[in-house]
Amino acid sequence: MQQTTAPRDIQLVRGVHLWGAVAINAISMIGIGPLITIPLVLGALHGPLSLVGWLLGALLALCDGLVWAELGSLYPGSGGTYGYLLEVFGKAKVGRLLAFLFVWQTIFVAPLNQATGYIGFANYAGFLVPWLSSSPWAIKGLAILVGIFTLISLYRGIKTISRIGIILGVASIFTLVCVSVASYAHFSAPQALALPGGHDSIWSGLRAGLGQALIIAMYDYLGYNQSSCIGGEVHDPAKTIPRSILISIVLVAALYITMQFGILGAISWKAIIPAADGSLPPLGQHVASAVVSTSFGPAAATI
């Protein structure tokens, strides 16, 4: 009788330390999001009221982040929500069903979420290479190529991924800092603090646009839970996961709010918000480049 060998339990390498986990969370949060959604937040909450959206969004992210931090420290395995559903509801019947449904919807949601970043990257590339903007198929093709390049880049060991994450995290933070520095180089405090007039009072403005602004802000904050999704590859997960989540939320929130306030004082928010038909004006399509160009000239904006 032929003997069968029991399957070997494969142990993942715990190669992601604290700052690697923070970087992975941060790049998942930042991406291209804030550079393309700031006009949308301003369209919902005019002028300095937009800061309320970013502040409340950070508060919501912290509340949700604490949940992820606790789950990640209690069940430090890879898989995120899939693993938590199996652990909490059981690996048979209800837990298995919920985990299956989660994976099923993730098959649709995750690619769409990634695609927004690729499309945003391609649209910003149109600022550097103008002929791209004149060809929708060129923009789509570039977005697809960026997606393929991302997949190839991620086909690495976890320690290498951690190092790549730190490099990209520093680059993302540096980009936001550069935009902020450019905005404060020609900053007008009265312009930044000027409340909308007429019917757009503080209360009516918040009541009309806070919900929409929060949806957009939360899109820009999402990603702080990535370290918990790879918990099986995080070193000392009980401590590293909670710390990485909280540090990344506070860090990214500070960057967003600082940049938003600087943009308010550098250019008129009315020049970048969507029109009545939903279309963005030229300045609204490339806010970061517009701010840098205003402060340091077109050559600096291209860089």
**Domain extents for the chain?**
18-302
Cβ atoms within 10 Å, residue 27:
23
Q: How confident is the prediction for the chain on average, in pLDDT?
A: 83
d(CA 120, CA 106): 21
Which of the four pLDDT bands, split at 50, 70 and 90, describes residue 49? Answer: confident
Is the pLDDT score of 236 beyond 60? yes
54-76 mean pLDDT: 93
Amino acid in position 118 = Y
Sign of the torsion angle spanned by Cα atoms 278, 249, 256, 175: negative
Which of the four pLDDT bands, split at 50, 70 and 90, describes residue 10? Answer: low
283-300 mean pLDDT: 70
Which of the four pLDDT bands, split at 50, 70 and 90, describes residue 283? Answer: confident
- Mutual orientation of helices 33-44 and 50-74 as an angle, nearest 10°? 130
Which of the four pLDDT bands, split at 50, 70 and 90, describes residue 296? Answer: low
Is the pLDDT score of 200 beyond 70? no
- Give the residue among 92, 154, 144 at the shortest CA–CA distance from 119: 144
User: What pLDDT score was predicted for residue 302?
Assistant: 58
| Placement of tokens 């032929």 in the chain | 2
d(CA 267, CA 300): 17
pTM for the structure as a whole:
0.84
User: What pLDDT score was predicted for residue 12?
Assistant: 77
Is the pLDDT score of 3 beyond 60? no
Q: Tell me, what DSSP letter sits at residue 230? A: B
User: What pLDDT score was predicted for residue 298?
Assistant: 63
- Give the residue among 31, 79, 63 at the shortest CA–CA distance from 234: 79
d(CA 66, CA 120): 30
Is the pLDDT score of 247 beyond 80? yes
Cβ atoms within 10 Å, residue 176:
19
Residue 142 or residue 195, greater confidence: 142
Q: Tell me, what DSSP letter sits at residue 181? A: H
User: What pLDDT score was predicted for residue 45?
Assistant: 84
Which of the four pLDDT bands, split at 50, 70 and 90, describes residue 123? Answer: confident
Under DSSP, is residue 273 helix (H, G, I), strand (E, B) or coil? coil
Residue 253 or residue 35, greater confidence: 253
Contact 170, 27 (CB under 8 A): no
Is the pLDDT score of 8 beyond 70? no
170-186 mean pLDDT: 88
Is the pLDDT score of 199 beyond 60? no
Question: HSE-up of 172 (CA within 13 Å, CB side)?
Answer: 26
The rounded percent of the chain whose pLDDT value lies above 90 is: 19
User: What pLDDT score was predicted for residue 64?
Assistant: 94
Query: Can you name the CATH fold of 18-302?
Result: Amino acid/polyamine transporter I (1.20.1740)
User: What pLDDT score was predicted for residue 6?
Assistant: 45
Sign of the torsion angle spanned by Cα atoms 296, 297, 299, 302: positive
For 213, the token pair is 């602004």
Under DSSP, is residue 202 helix (H, G, I), strand (E, B) or coil? helix
Cβ atoms within 10 Å, residue 298:
11
List residues bridging with 16 in a β-sheet. 234
The rounded percent of the chain whose pLDDT value lies above 70 is: 89
Mark residue 90 as left, alpha or beta (left: phi above 0; alpha: psi -120 to 50; beta: remaining).
left
For 3, the token pair is 């003997």
User: What pLDDT score was predicted for residue 7?
Assistant: 47
User: What pLDDT score was predicted for residue 255?
Assistant: 93
Q: Tell me, what DSSP letter sits at residue 278? A: S
d(CA 170, CA 3): 53
User: What pLDDT score was predicted for residue 301?
Assistant: 56
User: What pLDDT score was predicted for residue 257?
Assistant: 93
